Chain A
Amino acid sequence: DGGITQSPKYLFRKEGQNVTLSCEQNLNHDAMYWYRQDPGQGLRLIYYSQIVNDFQKGDIAEGYSVSREKKESFPLTVTSAQKNPTAFYLCASGQQGLGETQYFGPGTRLLVL
């Protein structure tokens, strides 16, 4: 089945630790996106990538890093520099440049211990 998968579903981070969230898609989409959602809030863009080996900062990129080595994969690392990482993280993909809809994964809930 085609779609977007995210793992893990829940992730716990200790103080000072870097953690990586996985996002994989088999929809053959060029563009991929990472969003952060805080309780009761909308989605805010962290990073996005329109093509392999290229990515751009979104509105809240500080404390996060990404890579796009393969078309299918767009992992997000939450670094120790992100002081308030507790949130729901959503990955999405879409056809680049066409203004078409984005398709979302099921999300990862990150909690700080």
Chain B
Amino acid sequence: GIQVEQSPPDLILQEGANSTLRCNFSDSVNNLQWFHQNPWGQLINLFYIPSGTKQNGRLSATTVATERYSLLYISSSQTTDSGVYFCAGLYNTDKLIFGTGTRLQVFP
């Protein structure tokens, strides 16, 4: 079946620390995307990254499509980075399948 698995499920950091979030997906899923859901529920797209590496400020993402995984790097974490990070893969070119998320808490 279609699978999008994320690890770790929970992550607690002190401000300034770095972290790596992982997303594994099955071979029927393509076009990985990363989202951040803030504590108020708003979902924001971070990266559309079917393959390769992209960087946006303190965040970067790498997808190795041939090995079916994607990584999200957060450097110098801030309290505003708190929330839930989801990866999602495109299935059948029109449906996003979401992982169960990584809940990040950053403390000052």
Contact = CB atoms under 8 A, between A and B. Distances in A.
A36 to B, nearest CB: 11
Nearest to B101: A42
B96 A50 contact: no
Interface residues of B, number: 23
A84 interface: no
Interface string A13-54: 000000000000000000101010100011111001010000
B41 interface: yes
Of A31, A99, A103, chain B has the most CB atoms within 10 Å of the CB of A99
B41 A107 contact: yes
B41 A97 contact: no
A48 B45 contact: no
B30 A99 contact: yes
Interface residues of A, number: 26
A90 interface: yes
Given A107-B41, A107-B42, A102 B98 contact: no
Contacts, number: 55
B17 interface: no
Contact of A101 (B42, B45, B95): B45
Contact of B43 (A41, A90, A96): A90
Nearest to B41: A107
A113 B43 CA distance: 27
B86 interface: yes
Contacts of B98: 35, 42-44
Nearest to A31: B94
